[in-house]
């Protein structure tokens, strides 16, 4: 098979470079429109969503703590009932750990890691977006339960046998475990994204021993999350089986 000579564009031609940059900008442009903007998968957008949501969860948990402090401010206070106080205590601890501490680490890492490695984005942008939306759904379940008097009241650690008895804890523990499962899946998705990002998105010449220190920190914590959260998910499943089937 024969053909004529192929014209290879001159990469040093300013017009060629401008056309290439324009096509690249079109590929990486964020979605337009009121609803389509929430389908964005760019790490900067997802990281900002993560940060704002986690910070909002921290403020909400802080309000719960203030209510508890107000209840304890004077003796014989009747600001909230004993049952509501237990719900506030449990929800505050759960939110600060699972809806602020871990997600905030992921939020900052999603924003900073590509810049630390000189990459344009993380390796699986849709996985980052999936992790955020799972986190948001789980957070709505967990945090919103307090408005329906259905928040968990067994302590944020949920130790058996108190928390495994549905007659003592009601539906609150079930809602807590449902929301927590979404949050744990979100953390696993973020951990996989960050680990692969550190290992596969480094620029040429940046070996592991030459990475910025914060990139090492992201890698180590992401590996810890990857190993720590599957047992938590298994524990949630076994916990719910105990409550539903009296295992």
In the prediction, which pLDDT does 10 show?
Answer: 65
Q: Which of 8-17, 80-89, 157-166, 188-197 has the lowest mean pLDDT?
A: 8-17
In the prediction, which pLDDT does 38 show?
Answer: 84
Could you tell me if 119 and 178 are in contact, meaning their C-beta atoms sit under 8 angstroms apart? no
Q: How many Cα atoms occupy the beta-carbon half-sphere of 81 within 13 Å?
A: 4
pLDDT bucket at 140, cuts 50 / 70 / 90: very high
In the prediction, which pLDDT does 50 show?
Answer: 95
In the prediction, which pLDDT does 22 show?
Answer: 84
Q: Which residues of 113-137 are buried (b: 16+ CB within 10 A; e: fewer)?
A: bbebbebebbbbbebbbbbbebbbb
Full-model pTM: 0.85
Is the model's pLDDT at 4 over the cut of 60? no
Mapping DSSP to helix (H, G, I), strand (E, B) and coil, where does residue 74 land?
A: coil
| Cα(126)–Cα(153) distance, integer angstroms | 35
Is the model's pLDDT at 15 over the cut of 60? yes
pLDDT bucket at 245, cuts 50 / 70 / 90: confident
pLDDT bucket at 145, cuts 50 / 70 / 90: very high
Condensed to tens digits (0 to 9), the pLDDT of residues 146-193 reads: 999 899 888 888 888 778 887 777 888 899 999 999 999 999 999 999
Q: Which of 10-14, 120-124, 147-151 has the lowest mean pLDDT?
A: 10-14
As a whole number, the mean pLDDT across the chain is 89
- Structure-token match 């909002």, residue found: 56
Tell me what the mean pLDDT of segment 208-234 comes to. 94
């Amino acid at each position: 098979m024969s053909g004529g000579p192929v014209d290879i564009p001159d990469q040093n031609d300013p017009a060629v470079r401008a056309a290439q940059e324009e096509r690249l900008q079109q590929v990486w442009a964020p979605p337009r429109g009121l609803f389509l903007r929430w389908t964005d998968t760019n790490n900067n957008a997802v990281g900002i969503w993560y940060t704002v949501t986690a910070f909002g969860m921290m403020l909400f948990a802080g309000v719960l703590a203030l209510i508890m402090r107000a209840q304890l401010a004077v003796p014989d206070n009747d600001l909230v009932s004993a049952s509501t106080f237990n719900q506030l205590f449990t929800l505050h601890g759960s939110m600060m750990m699972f809806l602020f501490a871990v997600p905030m680490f992921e939020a900052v890492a999603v924003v900073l890691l590509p810049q630390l490695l000189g990459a344009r984005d993380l390796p699986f942008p849709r996985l980052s977006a999936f992790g955020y939306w799972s986190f948001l759904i789980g957070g709505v379940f967990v945090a919103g339960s307090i408005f329906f008097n259905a928040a968990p009241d067994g302590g944020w650690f949920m130790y058996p046998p108190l928390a495994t008895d549905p007659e003592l804890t009601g539906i609150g523990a079930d809602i807590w475990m449902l929301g927590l499962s979404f949050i744990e899946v979100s953390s696993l998705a973020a951990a996989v994204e960050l680990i692969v990002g550190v290992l596969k998105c480094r620029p040429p010449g940046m070996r592991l021993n030459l990475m910025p220190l914060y990139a090492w920190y992201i890698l180590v914590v992401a590996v810890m999350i990857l190993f720590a959260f599957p047992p938590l998910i298994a524990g949630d499943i076994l916990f719910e089986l105990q409550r539903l089937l009296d295992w």
